[in-house]
Structure 1
Amino acid sequence: MDKTLESSKNSLGFGKSEAETRVVVAMSGGVDSSVCAALLAREGYDVIGVTLQLYDHGEAIKKAKACCAGQDIYDAKRVAEDMGFPHYVLDYESNFKEQVIEDFADTYLKGSTPIPCVRCNQTVKFKDLLQVARDLGADCMATGHYIKRIEGKNGPELHRAYDGGKDQSYFLFATTRDQLDFLRFPLGHMDKSETRRLAVELGLNVAAKPDSQDICFVPTGKYTDVIEKIRPHAAQPGKIVHQDGTVLGEHRGVMYYTIGQRRGLGLGDDTGTDPLFVTGIDADKGHVVVGPRSALDRDTLWLDDINWLGEGKFGAHLDGTNIRVKVRSTRPPAPARLELRGNKMVVVLNEPDIGLSPGQACVFYEDRNDAARTLGGGWITQTA
């Protein structure tokens, strides 16, 4: 690209002034999205803040650390007022319930492990809200996520954040190429301490606000409470079965168990010398399968709904390609390879991992020591 043209672009990559560039900022009411919006406003961009009301305020207010709650909406509005840009609250409660909360409950009832934050980004935020931004005439939509958007030779690329401890690439793997073209992530090059410092410098009321820790729609911190509320008669008792076929006891519903669980099995001490772990869940039979820790080892993952952000199209030409993957948000990317088995592409880990379950995400990264570029990912449907 011509260097003169490149240098004439503003910080968001548009060849016009900041005042002529309209940016819709997704504001949760937390410090990250507030700093994102305030920085863009200070730079002179035409900022519009939008906050989504995603669930009942009465329940939300009881859980002050949950995002998008009643207090959070007030905090986002206050930031907008102080920085002098318009702010709107949109009622997306029914969309969120249908696309995120009900999917969360149904996934658990199938014996899988859901990741609602990915589903929320995939549907409500980067689909519904992004369309709202387009309808408002925005040139782009900005969020406070810690991830980098870098212009590559073949278009924008998704890269892990500068702050590895806050990197959110795991939760954004389902971002499509079209969405990435419209999105901006101003905090991707910062660490969290810099964000806090800027919040103080900008005089934001949320500068000392703690980060959200829990799933936003789980006010008690106990996910089974949510499932019981929206699927009150779904929990069905069944058998706890050793992997050798021996029936060891009864359980009250598969939704109360997860792969890798050791405590709370209710089997007492009469199960042999080795501790038992949940190694599988067969929702169709109503069985919770248990076995020794060694039975948790998995190195082969079958995926579905794959989103590919690498070069070319996702297909057979990737058979045997070395990549790195994350199967948990808190783990560093680990070496793996893609293999074509029949008409399915599977991920084979170089080293087995434990506690992997259908419903979890497997996120792809470039096979380099820094594993910086995010190549997409998919949903685990089966492990072996």
Structure 2
Amino acid sequence: MSADWSILKLSSLSPPTSSLAPPPPNTSQNPPLSDWEAPSFTRAAQVRVGATSVLFLFAACSNLALLASVWRGRGRRLASHLRPLMLSLALADLMMTFVVMPLDAAWNMTVQWYGGDALCKLLCFLKLFAMHASAFILVVISLDRQHAILHPLDALSAHCRNRRMLLLAWTLSLLLASPQLLVFRSIRVEGVDFVQCATHGSFRARWQETLYNMFHFTSLFVVPLLVMSCCYSRILLHIHQQHLRNKAGESYLRRSGTDVIPKARMKTLKMTVVIVLSFVVCWTPYYLLGIWYWFQPDMLRVTPEYIHHALFVFGNLNTCCDPVIYGFYTPSFRADLAACCHRTRSGAHVSPRSPDRLATGHGGLQCDPAPNNQAGV
């Protein structure tokens, strides 16, 4: 595949029905036309488009609701260093929703590319940018949780530190996606009326294409996975050591006699662990199939087409999981959804809760009034 994990098989210049297929060994040569058959909108691709459309509707509604809750609703009561993280996560998921999903569905339906050269470059750039941003923001969240657990008294600098890390994450996503503007272009197959958006001819040798793919595989999946695994391993080790000290009568950093770490901070930690696990579970099969293809391109002939489609749709499911997980662990988000549904049913305007009611309402991930309590999240 060509670095964004949903590019066509260039040997036949077909659409992204095999979403993780990198170009075969003849990518730098003219596509063979002797045995070439025009691709079609297969039944498996139709099911993929239908499933992607359902995921698009759910992801769009849920992530927009999450964004509204954190930006304007009860989610504003999040600790100041957590709020930018959840806003960035919602924005990254919305980019995946409004760029990756519609592009994939439309491309499968049209079979060939009708958007022209400029749109080809732009959409492939935005697609990789969204995927990098989604992964890197999870890394930032993991680093924030590690610092909150290992250095709980250093909460005053958390807000500035998280903003710097988020700026770095978005900037790196932008830079790493920029090569897409150079390698992708609209290509017309000679002798037939068929146009496709592809990397065909951008690399002089097969190894260059493979190196490009492996670099983005490392930045999209391997590096984020290693960093997140390291963060949560250190957190688990720290919690285990705290338990041992507790048994030895050296308990500290506790709000009550039974807490090893504050409950609000532990609740946030559990939420972020589940969010990271959903990313790993949803995308690992997709990336593994891509690696298999790189080293054995003939695997596409021995694996059913619906498997490739199913793994891509399963990967996109991650975009729907984040707001669901956030809502499960955050009563304020559920309250905002309930208020919205109530307004929709009644048709009457319901004024938002006053700040006093918000401060004494839902617990969990909300800010505590005192600065010391806020630092515990």
Structure with more contact order per residue of length (Cα contacts < 8 Å, sep ≥ 6) = 2
> Which range, TM-score by smaller chain?
under 0.3
Instruction: Tell me the TM-score normalised to structure 2 length.
Output: 0.23
- TM-score if structure 1 supplies the norm length? 0.23
